[in-house]
Structure 1
Amino acid sequence: MLDIAEELHHWAEQGRDFAVATVVAVGGSAPRQPGAALAVDRDGTAIGSVSGGCVEGAVHELCGQALDQGTTVRARFGYSDDDAFAVGLSCGGVIDILVTPIGADDPARDVFAAALAAAARKEAAAVARITDGPAELLGRPLLVHPDGSYEGRLGGHPELDRTAAAEAHALLEAGRTGSVTIGADGSRCGQPLTLLVESSVPPPRMIVFGAVDFAAALVRAGKFLGYHVTLCDARPVFATRARFPEADELVVDWPHRYLAATEVDARTVLCVLTHDAKFDVPLLERALRLPVAYVGAMGSRRTHLARNERLRAIGLTEPELARLHSPIGLDLGARTPEETALSIAAEIVADRRGGSGAPLTGTHTPIHREGGRTVAGGISPVA
């Protein structure tokens, strides 16, 4: 649901009634992961997606029914030999959908609205909902804040809310979206319950070092992938808004000094395009010792070897050097800045999701992976 928070926030502000269908579980080669959502209002207007097109029509109808009846329902869509291309996933997967109506008189509407507003503002928040359990408990939201406080009620015993809030807070701190099972003792309702926790976190950072033409294209690619992009260069004549209009931040400073002063985390990607030893070496000395998701550096193979020798000489270890993606990017035969930016972006995605970078044609690995090696942010791929 939080993956379409901006649009739903507008609907909530306008007072619209709507139903949200959320993917709560997947099996096999499902195209969307838990947390993906499709919403439908009273007029039949739809936003979002739960399957990439396979079952959208059937889910649209379910949303309309849920709005008319005012009840939350769970439904399963999957592949069958008899009905492979009708209501089902012809790709062979199975998805479970929770459809929740949110009407003007819904007592939980304020909680949903607060969650959507927080996510639309790119603030950290998590929403926990029961997706498998007694029918009367399905779909009710619990909004959990970064400090562990929470709003709303799942229903049942207050201990259930406290347990669910603690589980949701743990996933929020990790920037993850996923399911949690609460045992019968914790649920206090005589049976285990399954929660879907959707986390919304500020977008991950991409820091591009070096105000070169390749950097301008990479800034655009980073924005397209949902990163908060910073461009850093020590030369004020090159690090200008006119040259990098799409960057979220422009910083004029020595790259290593800026990296030492700014905040990074396990989702941050660092792209070193300076291609100059006086910038690269002190910058990479620090970058390769930080707990970030990705460090890549531009340069020829000869430049890479020479740079590695300099880094060894100042004390970097082989495991630290092994974290460096250099020469940066995948082998696409790229020539132009845009093609080079695409190759870098592709490598970042492959590294994040655990992909090989090989063509899908002729390979036998799953197309839709369940998780990656690191968390990407927003609604986490989960991880």
Structure 2
Amino acid sequence: MFDIADELSRWVEEGREFAVATVVAVGGSAPRGPGAALAVDSGGTVIGSVSGGCVEGAVYDLCVQALQDGESVLERFGYSDEDAFAVGLTCGGVLDIMVTPVAAQAPVREVFRSALSAVASGEPRALARVVRGPAELLGRALLVHPDGSYEGSYGNSDGNGSAALDRTAAAEARAMLDGGRTGTLELSEDGSNCPGGLTLLVESNVPPPRMIVFGAIDFAAALVRAGKFLGYHVTVCDARPVFATRARFPEADDLVVDWPHRYLRGTATDGRTVLCVLTHDAKFDIPLLEQALRLPVAFVGAMGSRRTHADRDRRLREAGLTDAELARLRSPIGLDLGARTPEETALSIAAEIVAARRGGTGAPLTGTRTPIHRDGGQRETTETAEAA
């Protein structure tokens, strides 16, 4: 739902009633992942997408129906070739989609309002909605804060067990928020961690991941543009103030004039951070990579020729890095695209970052039998839909 937060926030403030359809689980070659959303207001206006066009018409009708009867519904869409008139995914995947009506006085509306406000202000939150379970709980939501506190309540038909369920759900959702993960989890209705009773979709809103580009060269300017396109918060760092200027890097979020290793030592990184070392100068690279390869970041790559890489590898071994640490280094950085220009090189680097993040091979899809869509190794983001 957070992918259409700006428009939904405006609808909430305008007092519109609407229904939100959200991808809950995917299987096979489904085009969009959990959390992707489409919404329809009472006037028939539609925003967002859940499948890139395959099932949007049917989902639109489900939203209209949900607005009329006020009930949440969970629907499955699968492959459609066996029936020419069936609505389904032509790519052969499976989508589970939950549709939730958001009426003017519904309790879930206030939870949505708070969630959308947090997205607008860049505050981390996790929205945990019931997507499988008793009909009276379907669509109910908690908004979980980083400290574990929460807004909203699931409740249940007899009014018992809600507090324990809310507390357990909030604790589990907080753990997913800490890792910036979106996906499903299972709990029992009594609030225990035993699976089987309820399935929750947890959508995490966290600040964008960081890309730090070391070396204010012409290739860096192109990589900044590619990083922004991929949704990264991009920082350019160089020890030479004559090169690290706003005129040369107008699209960078941050410009830092400092020695790379000193800046890296003092800045915040996490498991989503991407580090791209483009200086290919030993006096910058070696102290920087000594630190970078020991940090729990997502990607460390360094530019340079084969000869530069061999020299860099030798120097890093002399500095005490282990085989396991050196194995994390992507060098020379980028996939083999035959790139020549800064823009082509940036594309090569960006492609390797995506492949590393999503578990791709970098090989052409033509002639291979590997899956087109991968889970990137994160279990919570790819709960495969169960057999109908």
The question of a shared fold, defined as TM-score above 0.5 by the shorter chain, is answered with yes
- Match for residue 212 of structure 2? 207
Q: Secondary structure of the residue that 1:197 maps to in structure 2?
A: strand
**AA matched with 1:256:** H
Instruction: Report the CA distance between 1:2 and its aligned residue.
Output: 1.7
- 1:1-383 residue pairs with structure 2 within 5 A? 1-83=1-83, 86-156=86-156, 157-186=162-191, 192-369=197-374, 371-373=375-377
Separation in structure 1 between the aligned mates of residue 363 and residue 19 of structure 2, nearest angstrom: 40
CA contact (8 A) 1:267 1:374 kept: no
Separation in structure 2 between the aligned mates of residue 301 and residue 40 of structure 1, nearest angstrom: 54
Instruction: Report the CA distance between 1:374 and its aligned residue.
Output: 6.5
CA contact (8 A) 1:234 1:252 kept: yes
Instruction: Report the CA distance between 1:119 and its aligned residue.
Output: 1.8
Q: Secondary structure of the residue that 1:135 maps to in structure 2?
A: coil
Note the alpha carbon deviations across 1:318-375, whole angstroms, 9 max, x for none: 1111111000000011111111000100000000111000011111111111x21479
Separation in structure 1 between the aligned mates of residue 105 and residue 76 of structure 2, nearest angstrom: 28
Separation in structure 1 between the aligned mates of residue 39 and residue 190 of structure 2, nearest angstrom: 34
Separation in structure 2 between the aligned mates of residue 69 and residue 214 of structure 1, nearest angstrom: 56
Q: Secondary structure of the residue that 2:264 maps to in structure 1?
A: helix
Q: Secondary structure of the residue that 1:51 maps to in structure 2?
A: coil
Separation in structure 2 between the aligned mates of residue 26 and residue 7 of structure 1, nearest angstrom: 25
Separation in structure 2 between the aligned mates of residue 285 and residue 373 of structure 1, nearest angstrom: 26
Instruction: Report the CA distance between 1:216 and its aligned residue.
Output: 0.4
Separation in structure 1 between the aligned mates of residue 382 and residue 328 of structure 2, nearest angstrom: 22
How has the CA–CA distance of structure 1 residues 266 and 191 changed in structure 2, closer, same or farther, with 3 Å as cutoff? closer
CA contact (8 A) 1:353 1:374 kept: no
Instruction: Report the CA distance between 1:291 and its aligned residue.
Output: 0.8
Q: Secondary structure of the residue that 1:250 maps to in structure 2?
A: strand
Q: Secondary structure of the residue that 1:11 maps to in structure 2?
A: helix
Name the count of aligned residue pairs. 377
Instruction: Report the CA distance between 1:55 and its aligned residue.
Output: 0.2
Q: Identity of paired residues, percent?
A: 75
What RMSD in Å do the two structures reach over aligned CA positions? Answer: 1.9
Instruction: Report the CA distance between 1:83 and its aligned residue.
Output: 2.6
Instruction: Report the CA distance between 1:276 and its aligned residue.
Output: 1.1
How has the CA–CA distance of structure 1 residues 286 and 70 changed in structure 2, closer, same or farther, with 3 Å as cutoff? same
Gaps of at least 5 residues in structure 2 are 157-161, 384-388
Range that drifts further, 323-332 or 156-165: 156-165
Gaps of at least 5 residues in structure 1 are none
Note the alpha carbon deviations across 1:79-102, whole angstroms, 9 max, x for none: 144335741111111111110111
Instruction: Report the CA distance between 1:175 and its aligned residue.
Output: 1.3
Separation in structure 1 between the aligned mates of residue 136 and residue 377 of structure 2, nearest angstrom: 37
TM-score (norm 1): 0.94
Q: Secondary structure of the residue that 1:131 maps to in structure 2?
A: strand
CA contact (8 A) 2:184 2:381 kept: no
Instruction: Report the CA distance between 1:104 and its aligned residue.
Output: 1.6
CA contact (8 A) 1:176 1:382 kept: no
